[in-house]
Amino acid sequence: MAERIQKIISSYGVASRREAERMIQAGRVTVGGKPAMLGQSAQAGIDEIKIDGVSLATKSDYVYIVLNKPQGYVTTMSDEYGRKTVVTLVEDVGLRVYPVGRLDMNSEGLILMTNDGWFANYVMHPSHNITKTYEVRVIGDTAKAIPQLCRPMEIDSRLVCAVSVKLKKHTDGGDILSISINEGRNRQIRKMCAQCGLEILSLKRVSIGNITLGPMKTGHWRYLTEKERRSLIDMGNRIVES
């Protein structure tokens, strides 16, 4: 079935529809070897669509990776302010891949990257409630804050609460909390902690569903196994069915 080109590009997770429209207007998109026109339609998987000369991935080209993101990198394909992006850390994958969700520049840890738009949208969709766990070093009254974090609170006009909050370790440099959430809203943990009187010193995502960083070094990546990929899909299915 034919669809607008910007919709196809968006479904692959490469860019939003608005960003795709800008790509088309800038002459960066071709269909069948000819420059695409805004409003033009095509058939995904049949018509060859390229961005900057690179074809949108077919199913046989799909890759799924786990990156241990360092601080100081933004999770976008490009950045108008010239900041470092996670894309530069995975150039040796050999295919165009993009982040599944986001981690803010000052956070580190696990982020999934892929060229499979369906998978990216599935993992990010709020109805699937896939749990993400973070190790957060904080300063403040954690004994008072932990029960507050587990109760509903309003963040950006929406009610949110942690799935679980545990005190992992008390150190002279601050308490280390393990916080699990499943909404994944913009800077959610930072906003929740601030609302509970905690100052965050460091924030690291350590797992998404059953996927963990393990011994992977910061800045390194590995392929997601088929078992791991399937576990995320199964987890979302179980939640929706229940």
Which positions are annotated as active-site residues? 104
Residues comprising the chain, all counted: 242
